[in-house]
Amino acid sequence: MADTTFHRALDSDLFWSFRKSWTARVSSLVLLVLFGAAIFAPWLATQNPYDISQLFLLDSELPPMWIDGGDPRYILGTDQQARDLYSAILYGLRLSLVVGFASVALAAALGITLGLLGGFLGGIVDAAIMRVADILLSFPAILVALLVNGIARGVLPPDQHADAAIWVLILAIGLTNWVQYARTVRGSTMVERQKEYVQAARINGVSGSGIMIQHILPNVLGPVLVIATINLGMAVLTEATLSFLGVGMPATQPSLGTLIRIGNEYLFSGIWWVVIFPSVVLVVLVLAVNLLGDWLRDALNPKLR
Amino acid sequence: MLGFLIRRIIQSIFVMLAVALIAFMMFRFMGDPVNSMVAETATTEEREAVRERLGLDQPLWVQYGRFVARAAQGDFGLSWRNARPVSTLLAERFPATAELVLVAAGLSLLVGIPLGILTALKPGSLSAQTLQFVSLIGISLPTFVTGILLILVFSVWLNWLPSFGRGTVVDIGWWSTGFLTVSGLKALILPSVMLCLFQLTLIMRLVRAEMMEVLRTDYIKFARARGLPNRSIHFRHALKNTLIPVITIFGLQLGGLIAFAIITETVFQWPGMGALFIQAVSFGDVPVMAAYLVLVSLIFVVINTSVDLLYAVLDPRLRADAARAAH
Amino acid sequence: MTLLTVEDLTVTFPGRRGSVNAIENVSLSVEPGEILGMVGESGAGKSMTGAAIIGLIEPPGHIAGGRITLEGERIDTLPPEAMRRIRGRRIGAIFQDPLTSLNPVLTVGEQLIETIQTHLGLSRAAARERAIDWLRRVGIPAPEARIDTYPHQYSGGMRQRVVIALALCAEPRLVIADEPTTALDVSVQAQIIALLRRLARETGVAVILVTHDMGVIAETADRVAVMYAGRIVEVGPVARVLANPRHPYTEGLMASIPRIGPRPDRLAQIEGAMPRPHARPPGCAFAPRCPHRFAPCVERRPELRGTAAAAVACHLTTEVPA
C-alpha cells in the first residue's frame, strides 16, 4: 500500500514538480550541504569547541582570515573566548538540527497519537483534546515554549539546568507544535470511520481500528510530511530564539542561537563576525526549509493552501 | 447580538479559569512555597505554622478558589527573586510594553495594508515582485537577527539611534510614557520597527491573498460589468471585503506582538514586561511567570472577544445571524 | 440600424499545450429590441462570446481576431477606460448566480445608486429615487424599506430581480443575460423569465439570452443562435429552428426537449461528448457524433452560410451526400 503510493508519487507529479521548481532544487541542495556539515561536524571542524584545553586565549577576537589581522587557522575568526567560529558554527548547526528534528519527531508522534485517539474515541476524549489544542493554538508558540521551558527549569535543580537544556528544549518545542498533526490526523480518522468497511467490520464484531490505522496512515502521510517540514523550520527558529533569549542551550554548548547571543553582547566592540556568521547560517537554513516546505505543500496537495 | 456577547464572555471566563489553573499548579507544585517564606534554618513547627497560615493544608479546590480570588484582585504575592510584590513589578513595566506594542501594531497596519493592496492590484509589476520576495525573507528572518542588524547598522555604524532603553520618560500618574520626549521617541524607532516587521510582512501577504481572492469573485466581476470605475471597485467593493478577515487575523496577531515583544525587549534592553518574564523564566521565578501568564492571557482574551464583536459589527451577514440567534 | 454586429470573432487562451481558441469565427448580429437566444452545451463558448462583447475576458485570454461593432462604433479595440464607460451604460450584464453577484457588505441601494450615479450623473437623491423606482419595476415589494437592506436579506429569486435592476438601471441598449435562471428554483425561473421579457418590451432593450435550456429559448427569444465547440452552427428565427432544425446538432438538441403529448419511451440523447477546445477534429467538430456524417465532414470545416438572420454551418445543406 504505502509502497505503491510512494512509487506512484515518485513516478509522476512530485518528481516532475521537483524538477520544474528551481526553488525546490536549490533549497534541497542547500539543506543537503547543511545536513552534511552537521553530521560530519567532528571531521570538518578544526577544533572541538567544547574542549577548553584546545582554546588559546591569545587567539581571542581574531577577525576572519581574509581581513587584516586574521589568522589562516581560524577561517571565520574567533570569539572572545578564542573559540574558532567556523568549528563552533558547525557544532552549533548540529545542535540546532538535533533539537529541531527531535522536537518535530516528538510533536508528530504526540499529534498523530492524540489525533487518532480523538478520531477513534470521539466524545469527551476528543472534545478534551481539541479544547486543549484550541487554547494552545490561541497562544503564540514562543510563549508556550517559554512557559514549558520555565516550568521545567523551576522543577529541575539549578545545577542540572545546563545538562538538561537540550532535553528541556526538545520537550518545550515539541509540546508546542503537536496541534496541527492532531487536527489533520483526527480529520482523516473521522472521515475513514464513516466508510463502509469499518462499519462492516464493526457489525462483524471486529474492531475496525486495526484496519483503519492501515488505511489512515498512508492517507495522512503527505499532509504530515508537509506539516513536519514547515514545522522543522519553526522548531529551528524557536530553538534559536530561546537560546538567544538565554533560556536555551548554555554558552558551554552553544547552538546557533547561543552563538548569536554571545556575539550580540560584543556588538559594540566591533566584533561583528561573531554575530553575523551564525546569523547567516541560521537564516539560510530556515529559509531553505521554508521554501522546501512551501514547495512540498503545493506539490503534494494544492488544496492545503 | 446580546446573546452572542454573553456567550463570548462566558467562553472567555472559562479560558481565564483554565489559565489560572495552570498558574495555580505552577505555584503549588513547582518547588515548595514554604521554602520561599521561611528561613533555611526554620524548624518543622515553624514550617507547619507557615503552611497553615498560607492555607496549604486546605483541600486543593479551596486553595484554587482562593488563588483565583486573589488573582482577580491582582495579588500574585512576592517575586521569589527580589521579594517585591509581583503586581507592582508588572505595573511598573506595563507602559513600556504597551507603548512598544501599540506603535508596532500601528506601523504594521499603516504600511502593511497599502503594500498588500499594491501587490494585489499590480501582481506582475517589478515593485510587487520585489515586495513579495522581500516579504518572504522577512518571514524567514528570525526577529532577533533583524533587531541585531538594525542595531549594527543604525546604532553601531551610523550612530543615529539609541540601541537600548526607552530614553527619557515622563510620568503621568502611574503611567510612564516615552511619547513626550525626543529621546523617548527616538528610542522607540528601532524596537518598534523590529517588532512590526514580521507582522507587517504577514499583513501584507494576507491583504494581498485576500484581495486577489476577492477580485476573483462574481460580485467584483458584476461590478466591472456595470462599468464602475476601478477606483470604486478596488477601494469600495473589494477593500471592505478584504479587510474583514484581515481584522480577525490582526487581532490574533496583536497577541503575537505581545509575545514577540519578549524578544524585542531582550535585544533592546527595553524595560518592559517581556524582559521581566525572561528573567523570571531563567530564574524559575514562579510568581512572576504565573502573573505574566495570567495578565497576557487576559489581554489576549479581551482582544479576541473585541475582534469577534468588531467582526460582527462590520460584516452585515454576521450581524443578521447574531441578531437572529439572540431572538 | 443594427444594434450589435459581431464578425469573425476569435478568442484565444494561451496555455501550456499551446494556444486554444475558446471561440472561433463567431459572427452574429442583434437588432434593437430583439431577444437573441444563445444555446449550446456548457463549454460551447456561449458565455465567452458574451464576455468578449462586454470586454471582460479573463487574462491571459484575449480577442485574437474579428470585430465587434455597437451602434456603428467599433468597440473591441477601445482603450479600457472607454470600454468601461460602455459597460453598464450601453451594454448591461446579468450574471448566473444571484447569490454571488451582489456585494455582501454593501446595501442593495448603495450598489444601485452607485451604478446610476456613475453613468447618468444624477444627484444622490435623484439616483436614490431612480433606484427605488427600479426595485419597484423588478417587483421588489416595499422598495422604500428594502433599498437599505443587504443582499443576504433577500431570497434567491429576489436577488436575481435586484441583479436585473442593476443591469438595467443605467438604461443600456443591450443586455447580456448569462444563464439568468440556472441557479434558481424551477418555480422562480418562470417568473424571472417573464420579468425579463416584460422589461425588454417596456424599455426596448435588446437581450442576448445565454442558456443551455431550449425551453427558455422557445418561450422568450425571437431568434436563436446554436453554438457547438466554439462555433455558431445555426442561427434562425426561433419558430423555424424549433420546427425545422437544419443542423444535425440542433436536431439532436430539439429531440432532447421533453414535450407534452404522446411521449417516446425515452428522451433522445446525442451519443458521445463535445470535444474539448484543444482536441477538436480538423473537419466539422460535430462530425464524430453526427448521424449524417459523410466524407467532407471529416476533411473540411463547414462555413456558416446564409443571411445574418438565418444561417447554418453544415456540409449537408450545400452538398449532397454520395
Domain containing B14 equals 2-72
Place of cell 489512515: A216
Secondary structure (3-state) at B14:
helix
Residues B132 and B67 in one domain: no
| One domain, residues B93 and B12 | no
Cβ neighbour number for residue B20 with a 10 Å cutoff: 20
Q: Compute the half-sphere exposure of residue B186: CA atoms within 13 Å on the CB side of its CA.
A: 13
3-state SS record for chain A:
CHHHHHHHHHHCHHHHHHHHCHHHHHHHHHHHHHHHHHHCHHHHCCCCCCCHHHCCHHHCCCCCCCCCCCCCCCCCCECCCCCEHHHHHHHHHHHHHHHHHHHHHHHHHHHHHHHHHHHHHCHHHHHHHHHHHHHHHHCCHHHHHHHHHHHHHHHCCHHHHHHHHHHHHHHHHHHHCCHHHHHHHHHHHHHHHCCHHHHHHHHCCCCCHHHHHHHHHHHHHHHHHHHHHHHHHHHHHHHHHHHHCCCCCCCCCCCHHHHHHHHHHCHHHCCCHHHHHHHHHHHHHHHHHHHHHHHHHHHHCHHHC
Q: Give the Å distances, CA to CA, from B298 to A142, B98, C30, C75, C224.
A: 17, 14, 67, 61, 67
What sign has the CA pseudo-torsion C127, C129, C132, C133? negative
Q: How far is B104 from chain A (nearest CA, A)?
A: 17
Q: B267 and B163 in contact (C-beta within 8 Å)?
A: no
Q: Write down which chains contact chain B via at least 3 CB pairs under 8 A.
A: A, C
What pLDDT is recorded for position C261?
57
- What pLDDT, on the 0 to 100 scale, is given for residue B62? 80
Residue B81 lies in a domain: no
Tally of structural domains, chain B? 2
Q: Is B213 domain-assigned?
A: yes
* Same domain assignment for residues B115 and B202: yes
The pLDDT of B91-105, averaged and rounded, is: 89
Question: Residue B322 — pLDDT band, cuts 50, 70, 90?
Answer: very low
Q: What are phi and psi of C104, to 5 degrees?
A: -70, -20
Closest partner residue to B148 among A151, A237, A275, by Cβ? A275
pLDDT of residue A206: 65
Phi, psi of C24 (to 5 degrees): -135, 130
Facing residue for B141 by CB, picked from A149, A150, A283: A283
How many other CB atoms are there within 10 angstroms of residue C304's CB atom? 20
Q: What is the DSSP letter of C79?
A: -
Strand C206-210 to C174-178 pairing: parallel
Q: Specify if C92 maps to a domain.
A: yes
- Domain for residue C212, yes or no? yes
Minimum Cα–Cα distance from B25: chain A residue: A151
Q: Is B256 on the interface with A (CB under 8 A)?
A: yes
For A154, which of B30, B137, B151 is closest by C-beta distance? B30
**Is the Cβ of B137 closer than 8 Å to some Cβ of chain A?**
yes
- Same domain for B124 and B43? no
Q: Angle CA(B80)–CA(B86)–CA(B92) in degrees, nearest 5?
A: 130
Whether C278 maps to a domain, the answer reads no
Residue B33 and residue B122 in one domain: no
Across the interface, which of C85, C104, C152 has its CB nearest the CB of B227?
C85
What one-letter code names the amino acid at C45?
G
Alpha-helix runs per DSSP H in chain C: 46-54, 80-86, 98-101, 108-120, 124-137, 143-146, 156-168, 186-203, 214-220, 238-243, 248-255, 295-299, 315-318
Of B221, B228, B240, the CB nearest to C105: B240
Q: How far is B222 from chain C (nearest CA, A)?
A: 6
Residue B33 CA to residue B45 CA, distance in Å, equals: 16
What Å distances lie between residue C6 and A287, A305, C53, CA to CA? 53, 41, 8
Domain assignment present for B80: no
Nearest-CA distance C252 → chain B (Å): 33
Q: Worst-scoring range by mean pLDDT, A135-139, B30-34, B293-297?
A: B30-34
Residue type, B88: T
Q: What is the pLDDT of residue A103?
A: 93
Residues B40 and B119 in one domain: no
Q: State the distance between the two ends of chain B, measured CA to CA, in whole angstroms.
A: 9
pLDDT at A55 over 80: no
Residue position matching grid coordinates 438604461 = C171
More confident residue, A201 or C287: C287
Rounded to a whole number of angstroms, the distance from the CA of B224 to the nearest CA of chain C is 8
Q: How many angstroms separate the CA of residue A91 from the nearest CA in chain B?
A: 20
Backbone φ and ψ for C306, nearest 5 degrees, come out as: 130, -165
Residue C194 cell numbers, joined: 417573464
Counting beta carbons within 10 angstroms of the beta carbon of residue C314, is it exposed (0 to 12), middle (13 to 18) or buried (19 or more)? buried
Residue B38's pLDDT band, with cuts at 50, 70 and 90, is: low
Question: Do B62 and B146 have their domain in common?
Answer: no
Q: Is the dihedral of CA B102, B106, B107, B109 positive or negative?
A: positive
Residue A114 in contact with residue A129, Cβ under 8 Å?
yes
- Final residue before a domain boundary, out of B47, B72, B97: B72
pLDDT at position B85, please?
83
In a domain, C26, yes or no: yes
- Cβ atoms of B226 and C88 closer than 8 Å: yes
Q: Is the pLDDT of residue A5 over 70?
A: no
Question: Which residue segment(s) compose the domain that C16 sits in?
Answer: 4-105+150-237
Q: Do C105 and B228 touch (CB under 8 A)?
A: no
C202: domain CATH number? Answer: 3.40.50.300
Q: Of C54, C95, C115, which has the smallest distance from its Cβ to B218's Cβ? A: C95
Q: Is residue B78 part of a domain?
A: no
User: A147 and B289: CB-CB below 8 Å?
Assistant: yes
Q: Chain A residues contacting B, CB < 8 Å?
A: 135, 138-140, 142-143, 146-147, 149-151, 153-155, 158, 233, 237, 240-241, 244-247, 260, 263-264, 267-268, 270, 272, 275, 279, 282-283, 286-287, 290
Least confident of A243-252, B176-185, C22-31: B176-185
Q: How far apart are CA A87 and CA A43, in angstroms?
A: 10
Those residues whose C-beta lies under 8 Å from the C-beta of residue C79, and which sit 6 or more positions away, are: none
Asked if residue C128 has pLDDT above 90, the reply is yes
Residue B119 in any domain: the answer is yes
How sure is the predictor about B32, in pLDDT bands with cuts at 50, 70 and 90? low
DSSP state of B85: B
Provide the phi-psi class of C33: left if phi over 0, else alpha when psi is between -120 and 50, else beta.
left
Half-sphere exposure of C102 (CA within 13 A, CB side): 31
In the predicted structure, residue B142 carries a pLDDT above the cut 50: yes
Chain C window 74-93: which residues touch B at a Cβ cutoff of 8 Å?
84-89, 92-93
Average pLDDT of chain B, as a whole number = 80
Per-residue pLDDT of A122-151, as tens digits, reads 788 888 888 888 778 777 778 888 888 877
Residue B323 banded pLDDT, cuts 50, 70, 90: very low
Contact A184, A224 (CB under 8 A): yes
Asked if B298 is an interface residue toward chain A (Cβ–Cβ < 8 A), one would say: no
Neighbours of C322 (CB within 10 A): 6
Residue A1 is predicted with a pLDDT of 43
Residue where a domain stops, chosen among B72, B103, B125: B72
B180: phi > 0 → left, psi -120 to 50 → alpha, else beta; which?
alpha
Does residue C293 lie within any of the structural domains? Answer: no
Cell numbers representing residue B162 in the block: 539609541
Cα torsion through A101, A105, A108, A111, rounded to 10 = -120
Residue B280 with chain A: CB contacts under 8 Å: 150
C-alpha cell at C200: 425588454
B70 vs A10 pLDDT, higher one: B70
My answer on whether B169 and B103 are in the same domain is: yes
Average pLDDT, chain C: 86
Say if residues A190 and B319 touch (Cβ distance below 8 Å).
Answer: no
Closest CA to A154 of B70, C75, C322, B23: B23
Across residues B165-184, what is the average pLDDT?
A: 76
Asked if the model's pLDDT at residue C206 lies above 90, the reply is yes
**C188 belongs to a structural domain:** yes
Is B189 inside any structural domain? yes
Average pLDDT over residues C228-255: 87
Q: Which of B72, B99, B130 is the last residue before a domain boundary? A: B72
Residues B60 and B175 in one domain: no
Question: Do B161 and B211 fall into the same domain?
Answer: yes
Give the CATH number, domain containing residue B271.
1.10.3720.10
Comparing B134 with C192, which gets the higher pLDDT?
Answer: C192
Residue B122: inside a domain, yes or no?
A: yes
Tell whether the model's pLDDT for residue A300 goes beyond 80. no
Chains touching chain A through at least 3 C-beta pairs below 8 angstroms are: B
Residue pair C155/C189 in contact (Cβ under 8 Å)? The answer is no
In a domain? residue B313: yes
Q: Which is nearest to A291 in space by CA: A19, A31, A98, A89?
A: A31
Bridge partner residues of C6 (DSSP): C28, C68
The residue with cell 464484531 is: A205
Task: Please report the DSSP string for C90-122 in residue order.
Answer: TEEEE-S-HHHHS-TTS-HHHHHHHHHHHHH--
Give the list of residues 6+ apart from residue C193 with CB closer than 8 angstroms, or none. Answer: C180, C181, C216, C219, C220
* High-pLDDT (> 90) share of chain C, %: 26
Nearest to A150 among B256, B260, B281 (CB): B281
Of B149, B253, B256, B139, nearest to A286 by C-alpha is B139
ipTM above 0.90, yes or no: no
Cβ distance B304 to A150 less than 8 Å, yes or no, reads no
CB-CB under 8 Å, C87 with B224: yes
Chains A and C touch (3+ CB pairs under 8 A): no
- Quick one: closest CA in B to A280, which residue? B145
Q: Is the pLDDT of residue A119 over 70?
A: yes
Instruction: Give how many domains chain C has, as a whole number.
Output: 1
For residue C301, is it within any domain? no
Whether residues B100 and B182 share a domain: the answer is yes
CA distance A183 to C167: 46
Mean pLDDT, chain A, rounded, equals 78
- Comparing alpha-carbon positions, the chain B residue that sits nearest to C54 is B225
Domain contains C281: no
Residue B147 in contact with residue A270, Cβ under 8 Å?
Answer: no
How far is residue C270 from each of residues B162, C143, C259, C274, measured CA to CA in Å?
Answer: 80, 47, 17, 10
Q: Which residue type occupies C209? A: L
Do residues B131 and B59 share a domain? no
Q: What length does chain B have? A: 327
Q: Would the pLDDT of C203 be above 50? A: yes
Please report which residue ranges of chain B form alpha helices under DSSP H. 2-29, 44-53, 60-72, 86-121, 126-140, 143-150, 182-215, 218-225, 230-232, 239-267, 273-283, 286-314, 316-326
Express each pLDDT in C140-165 by its tens digit: 898 998 999 988 888 888 888 999 99
Cell readout for B134 is 522581500
Search chain B and give the residue with CA nearest C55: B225
Q: Residue A157, preceding bond cis, omega within 30 degrees?
A: no
Within 10 angstroms of residue C238's Cβ, the number of other Cβ atoms is 19
